[in-house]
């Protein structure tokens, strides 16, 4: 029996290594073939699930038809419809970015650094330059232009900036909370069915439970501390883990699923922690970092670097000056309006990260199909 379990573990390890080699830069044709086959299988499974829940689907389609009719029929209600449409798509955009950031057990697209952080920073810089957050709509939020109202220097407050970006920040936080649900459901389903999913995070969690008393390294002890906090404290333990930037929070989701923590206990604590507490901490950090006097001090410190300081300081000064001109909508200024290399670098960084995220999705789905083939082969061997 011990020999059989050792052989099984060795086979699982080899199968996992074989799957990890199925990536676009090593086996492009096989990876693309497996990706398309896995996509077809997923579409078939989703179609079957929708058919089994056709009453819910019909209700959703009827609601959608009523909303569509309301949207196109002319009347006094159209001003409210346009307002709700704008708010809905704005919230959906940030919720989607939040889901992309936390989905995939921490391997998602880091949308806070790419989208939400720069948005909060631009609003902060504009608020201090304009001494107001009453940017005209439209063009805000697509473009920020200082309002025409007369304002006094230093009249902007920290709370006003926090309130200005609260909606998008909370929606992004809610999206990250939704993205934490797959580890929870995976571990919960595994516990209820008695199966052992071939997932590295879950297997690491199982091994951590087995060797809890002999854990020596810092990473293992940190993961064990998170697991103990969530398991013993419950709602407030999950809330504490979700309220601080915590790369080990995926382990909290797996722990809650494994120990069958009620869904609303897990999701409620995660939603409050990520969408309210954690988001206000992150917002405050970005706003303070990009406040006017701190940015000016940072630029002056860059200029103090020996030899290369002045050459590095110049593009930052040009960028900030260009942003100030853009805020006041003065395109006829003497400052060059050409593309700044900082903007160019950031745009290319966003493109590279989005491309890498898409590649990781293709590789992951191809490896999922390879796992299906391995499981099918294993089941056929057992029946012989």
Q: What pLDDT does residue 11 have?
A: 76
Q: Which residues contact 281 (CB under 8 A, 6 or more apart)?
A: 243, 244, 245
| pLDDT tens digits, 197-224 | 555 555 555 555 555 555 555 556 666 6
Which of 368, 361, 279, 346 lies closest to 122, judged by CA? 346
Structure-derived torsion over alpha carbons of residues 318, 323, 329, 330, reported in degrees to the nearest 10: -10
Q: What pLDDT does residue 109 have?
A: 61
Residue 12 has pLDDT above 90, yes or no: no
| pLDDT tens digits, 229-244 | 676 777 888 888 788 7
| pLDDT tens digits, 336-383 | 444 556 667 777 777 887 788 788 888 888 888 888 888 888 777 777
Q: Which H helix or E strand runs over 370? A: helix 341-383
**Encoded tokens for 169:** 């920040």
Whether 74 and 62 have beta carbons less than 8 Å apart is answered as no
Rounded to whole angstroms, the Cα distance separating 307 from 210 reads 56
The CA-based angle 109-315-152, given to 5 degrees, is 90
Residue 193 has pLDDT above 50, yes or no: yes
Whether 287 and 120 have beta carbons less than 8 Å apart is answered as yes
pLDDT average, residue stretch 234-263:
77
**Encoded tokens for 196:** 């052992």
pLDDT band at 93 (very low <50, low <70, confident <90, very high): very high
Of all residues in the chain, the percent with pLDDT exceeding 90 is 8
| pLDDT tens digits, 99-124 | 888 775 444 567 787 888 888 888 88
- Asked which of 47-51, 223-227, 295-299, 339-343 is least confident by mean pLDDT, the reply is 339-343
pLDDT band at 151 (very low <50, low <70, confident <90, very high): low
Q: Where are the alpha helices (DSSP H) in the chain?
A: 2-20, 28-52, 54-72, 78-102, 111, 117-130, 158-164, 166-179, 181-193, 200-210, 218-233, 235-242, 249-258, 263-272, 279-289, 292-303, 309-327, 341-383
Q: What pLDDT does residue 217 have?
A: 57
- Asked which of 73-77, 269-273, 349-353 is least confident by mean pLDDT, the reply is 349-353
Residues 67, 71, 74, 79: is their CA dihedral positive or negative? Answer: positive
Task: For tokens 């797996």, name the residue.
Answer: 254
Q: What pLDDT does residue 344 have?
A: 72
Q: Is the pTM of this model over 0.75?
A: no
**How many C-beta atoms lie closer than 10 Å to residue 206's C-beta?**
16
Which range in 10-14, 166-170, 291-295 is most confidently predicted, on average pLDDT? Answer: 166-170
Which of 342, 286, 277, 294 lies closest to 122, judged by CA? 286
| pLDDT tens digits, 308-343 | 777 777 777 676 777 667 666 644 444 444 455 666
**Encoded tokens for 253:** 């989701």
Give, as one character, the DSSP assignment of residue 340.
P
pLDDT average, residue stretch 93-97:
90
Task: For tokens 């926090």, name the residue.
Answer: 162
Rounded to whole angstroms, the Cα distance separating 153 from 131 reads 6
Residue 95 has pLDDT above 70, yes or no: yes
Q: What pLDDT does residue 77 have?
A: 81
**Encoded tokens for 317:** 């000064």
pLDDT band at 19 (very low <50, low <70, confident <90, very high): confident
């Amino acid at each position: 029996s011990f020999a059989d379990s050792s052989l099984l573990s060795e086979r699982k390890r080899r199968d996992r290594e074989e799957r990890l080699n199925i990536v676009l830069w090593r086996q492009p044709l096989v990876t693309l073939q497996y990706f398309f086959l896995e996509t077809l299988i997923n579409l078939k499974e989703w179609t079957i699930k929708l058919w089994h829940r056709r009453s819910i689907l019909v209700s959703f389609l009827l609601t959608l038809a009523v909303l569509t009719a309301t949207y196109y029929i002319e009347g006094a209600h159209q001003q409210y419809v346009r307002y709700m449409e704008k708010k809905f798509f704005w919230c959906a955009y940030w919720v989607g970015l939040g889901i992309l950031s936390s989905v995939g057990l921490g391997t998602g697209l880091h949308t806070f650094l790419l989208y939400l952080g720069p948005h909060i920073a631009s609003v902060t810089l504009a608020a201090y330059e304009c001494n107001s957050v009453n940017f005209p709509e439209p063009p805000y939020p697509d473009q920020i232009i200082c309002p025409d109202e007369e304002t006094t220097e230093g009249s902007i407050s920290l709370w006003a900036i926090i309130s200005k970006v609260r909606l998008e920040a909370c929606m992004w936080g809610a999206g990250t909370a939704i993205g934490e649900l797959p580890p929870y459901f995976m571990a919960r389903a595994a516990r209820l069915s008695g199966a052992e999913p071939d997932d590295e995070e879950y297997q690491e969690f199982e091994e951590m439970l087995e060797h809890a008393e002999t854990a020596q390294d810092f990473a293992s002890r940190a993961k064990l501390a998170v697991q103990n906090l969530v398991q013993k404290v419950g709602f407030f333990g999950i809330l504490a883990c979700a309220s601080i930037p915590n790369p080990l929070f995926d382990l909290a989701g797996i722990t809650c699923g494994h120990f069958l923590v009620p869904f609303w206990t897990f999701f409620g604590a995660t939603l409050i922690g990520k969408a309210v507490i954690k988001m206000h901490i992150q917002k405050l950090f970005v706003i303070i970092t990009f406040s006017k006097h701190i940015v000016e001090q940072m630029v002056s410190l860059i200029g103090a670097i020996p030899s290369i300081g002045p050459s590095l300081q110049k593009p930052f000064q040009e960028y900030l000056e260009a942003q100030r001109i853009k805020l006041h909508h003065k395109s006829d200024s003497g400052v060059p309006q050409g593309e700044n290399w900082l903007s160019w670098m950031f745009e290319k960084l966003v493109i590279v990260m989005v491309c890498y995220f898409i590649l990781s999705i293709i590789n992951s789905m191809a490896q999922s199909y390879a796992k299906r083939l391995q499981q099918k082969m294993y089941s056929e061997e057992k029946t012989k």
